[in-house]
Amino acid sequence: MKRTKTMELSLDELAAEAIRLGRELERAAHAASLGRSSREVGYASRTLRRLAERDPFDPHDDVSLTSLEAIMQADLKSEVRGCERRFVETRYDNLGQHGEVRDCPIYSERGEELLAIQRIFARFMDVRAATLDRIAAERAVTRLLAK
């Protein structure tokens, strides 16, 4: 098993980060009118409302957040304005630079905003999951010690 040493946040710090990212996500999504239709915009607003109210840990939100991710991806796909080929370095050794040419989408200005929202969303989901995992671990240890 490979382990990497990272600075670990306390449970309080993880929870606070999830709350902060949830509020940031709601503000960014609202500013960009996330969604391609009024129905999707309304759904995104309702889903993110609880995050704006500093309540990111309700298990009932899991399905809504998954749907929100699908809305984000579809919305982002509609903002592709073209494609360009770029060389991407994959490694560097004594023979020099190695890489591959990839087709990379070019996004509109709104598409760039949506990419930023996607990054906030991914970070929020990671921190939210880490917080919930830490809480589950503490509960499991408490049950184990109570035996």
User: Per-residue confidence of the chain (147 residues) as pLDDT tens digits?
Assistant: 444 444 688 999 999 999 999 999 999 999 999 988 899 999 999 999 999 999 999 988 999 999 999 999 999 999 999 999 999 899 999 989 999 999 999 999 999 999 999 999 999 999 999 999 999 999 999 999 987
Hey, is 45 helix, strand or coil?
helix
User: What does the longest C-alpha to C-alpha distance in the chain come to?
Assistant: 61
Contact assessment for residue 9 and residue 21, using Cβ atoms and an 8 Å cutoff: no
pLDDT of residue 5: 45
Phi, psi of 51 (to 5 degrees): -65, -40
The domain locations on the chain are: 11-80+108-146
User: Both tokens of residue 26?
Assistant: 């709601």
Nearest to 103 by CA among 86, 81, 88, 90: 86
